[in-house]
Amino acid sequence: MDRALQWDIFCKVIDNHGDLGVCWRLCADLASRGQQVRLWVDDASALSWMAPVDREGLTVLPWTEPLGINLLRLDARPCDVLIEAFGCDIAPEFLAECVRQEDAGQPRPVWINLEYLSAEPYVERCHGLPSRVYSGPASGWTKWFFYPGFTPSTGGLLREEGLLEKQAGFDRKSWLDAQGIEWSGEKLVSMFCYEPPALAALLPQLAQHGWYGQPVRLLVAAGRAGNAVKAVVNDQIGLFSSQDGHSLLSISYLPLISQLEFDHLLWTCDLNFVRGEDSVVRALWAGKPLVWQIYPQEDNAHLRKLQAFLAMLEAPSSLQLFHAAWNGRDGEMSPLDPDAWAACVESASMRLQKQDDLTTQLLRFESQARDTANQHQ
Ligand code: TRH
């Protein structure tokens, strides 16, 4: 793939930060590979802290309803690839404009639906399937399903070029100093979660037993995680001291930081608690023991997804039990055992690094989908 294409990526922020977090990473990665990208998003406010620096080749546009004057950008540069992130339904006036441009002789854009990440077996079956569109302005067009995933038969995982080399040269002491975090060698644990009920058991456990008896510092992400930790601390203030009145747990609350710094946080810590979709992938690349709080779904579909992830990870039984409690499925909070959890994350990370990353695959997929479309025209 050597030709710069115009990508239009549509993103709706449902809740939390993952939809925008994943879309931004993809856009930035495409732009860094010479592609032209427009990100249409209904609420870009989180980018002020998540991605404070502009990227060459990447324009963020408001997804207003209707799109209004920004639609004129298609005249300046027609769309080559249209990405509907997480089934968000592209703005109909955008599609209508693409159809008008096709009638005027422009090539039809390749239309890709980027799905959520899962390790479940259906992902391999569904990845890359075409689906005919039967309604709306682009009725009769084809939409392609692109599934991220953990095996070579899926769309892979986002991993920018040079990421692992950057991690290898990273100095955590300097990073901690820059964040104003005093560190005297205690074990470092990041905490990015929703409101897991088991947090009320984990924090006293850390206060009393630490990391196999050593002191622990918890680095808590801003937002829901910070609020959840503060609520437990306020509720159980007396529990945070061991019998001699000395707690092994200290806590640092972080402000909202950029995605770049969020990666640094994960590289810094000896154990990472992550959640949702994007941070769990970043924690895999960090290669440290991890605990995942999956985004909860109403019909408990997330529990199957969690099981599939743990199977992919080849998680030992103690890590599976810990996840069951952490995700509110069942069981008491088992003891933290990061030494027993390290090997599976390390080897999954190494295995996954051997696979093509998502952006490489998407570029290839787009070109194959275009060839297929040309053959049928
Ligand atoms: O915020 P999340 O829980 O997002 C979730 C999931 O993506 C879920 O699948 C989706 O359905 C739901 O949102 C709507 O967790 P996730 O996916 O890890 O996204 C968090 C993003 O926020 C990630 O890109 C990292 C970024 N982040 C920062 O850059 N700095 C910060 O300080 C924090 C706290 C997060």
Tell the residue nearest (CA) to atom 10 of ligand 1.
18
Max CA separation in the chain (angstroms): 80
Q: What pLDDT is stored for residue 288 in this prediction?
A: 98
Ligand 1 centroid distance, CA of 259 (Å): 10
Strand partners, 40: 10, 61
Q: Are 229 and 220 in contact (CB under 8 A)?
A: yes
Structural domains present in the chain? 6-157+356-375 (3.40.50), 163-353 (3.40.50.2000)
Segment-wise mean pLDDT, segments of 10 residues, the chain, 377 residues: 86 96 98 98 98 95 95 96 95 97 97 98 97 96 97 98 96 97 96 96 94 97 98 82 74 98 98 98 98 92 95 97 91 89 98 98 94 76
* Cβ neighbours around 244 below 10 Å, total: 6
Does residue 278 line the site of ligand 1, with CB under 6 A? yes
Task: Quote the DSSP letter at residue 214.
Answer: B
**What pTM was computed for the model?**
0.96
Number of H helices, E strands in the chain: 15, 12
Q: Are 27 and 48 in contact (CB under 8 A)?
A: no
Q: Are 316 and 331 in contact (CB under 8 A)?
A: no
Exposed e or buried b per residue across 8-33, where buried means at least 16 C-beta atoms within 10 angstroms of its C-beta: bbbbbbeebbbbbbbbbbbbbbbbbe
115, 261, 277, 366: the catalytic one is: 277
* Cβ neighbours around 334 below 10 Å, total: 19
Does residue 178 line the site of ligand 1, with CB under 6 A? no
CB-count exposure of residue 297 (10 Å: 0-12, 13-18, 19+): exposed
Pairwise CA distance, residues 249 & 260, whole Å = 27
What's the gap between Cα 271 and its chain centre?
Answer: 18
Q: What pLDDT is stored for residue 201 in this prediction?
A: 93
Ligand 1 centroid distance, CA of 161 (Å): 21
Ligand 1 centroid distance, CA of 241 (Å): 32
Q: SS3 of 266, please?
A: helix
